[in-house]
Amino acid sequence: MPCAGNAWHKARSRHKRWLLMEITRASPGDARPVAEIHVSAWQEAYKTIFSAEYLASLSVEKRHVWWQEVIASGTSDLLVARAEGSVHGWLNFGPSRDGDAPTNQAEVWAFYVAPAHWSMGAGRSLWLHAKQLMRQQGFASCSLWVLEQNVRAIKFYEAAGFVADACAPRMLAREGKQLREVRYVHPFGAC
């Protein structure tokens, strides 16, 4: 389904002035900034979860190639938030990949904002636009998986209307550790 058009949202900058945040579908030229944000957000958000060596080994080049393929495939929706000429964050969604999910449930596959732009409205703007697109595509709810140690993200998701799901956590193996991911669900309701 084509995008309903670009969305504009106001977001606060660190200088306490409002930025005009444009939300659009990613284009091939967005693969590089998406990859850069993917790596930098991981390195900041997970610095207490993963080793510095592991985080330093993350490759912008590999993610750049991967995101080029994702954008070219069109198998999911990748939205980017732009302000003042640069990408501040992105959100990737599609149908839920969980076997127990209803067919009308979307899933946020990945969602990152550049650390320099955290708590300034880019994430909220991305989520609100993604939610609108999900509803237009016929989805009645949305799920996502998050590391239970990622307290900052969980607070954001709960403020956006997500609630912890009762399903069993899934395990993610990294660096010889078993990490728990928990599922959150946001039922869209009538509003």
What is the tens place of the pLDDT at every residue in 6-34? Answer: 444 444 444 444 568 899 999 999 999 99
Which residue, among 152, 179, 156, 146, has the nearest Cα to 50 in the 3D structure?
179
User: Using an 8 Å Cβ cutoff, are 107 and 70 in contact?
Assistant: no
Average the pLDDT over 113-119 and give the result: 93
Which residues in 130-188 belong to E strands, given as ranges?
141-147, 163-164, 170-174, 177-187
7-141: CATH topology: Aminopeptidase (3.40.630)
Report pTM.
0.88
Q: What pLDDT, in 10s, does the model give residues 20-76?
A: 889 999 999 999 999 999 999 999 999 999 999 999 999 999 999 999 999 999 999
Mean of all residue pLDDT scores within the chain:
90
Q: Tokens 């060596």 map to which residue?
A: 53
- pLDDT of the residue at 190: 57
Using the predicted structure, report yes or no on whether residue 124 has a pLDDT greater than 80. Answer: yes
Confidence of residue 175 (pLDDT cuts 50, 70, 90): confident
Structure tokens of 104? Answer: 């009308």
Domains of the chain, residue spans: 7-141
Please list, in sequence order, all residues whose beta carbon lies within 8 angstroms of the beta carbon of residue 26, skipping any fewer than 6 positions away.
34, 67, 71, 78, 79, 80, 90
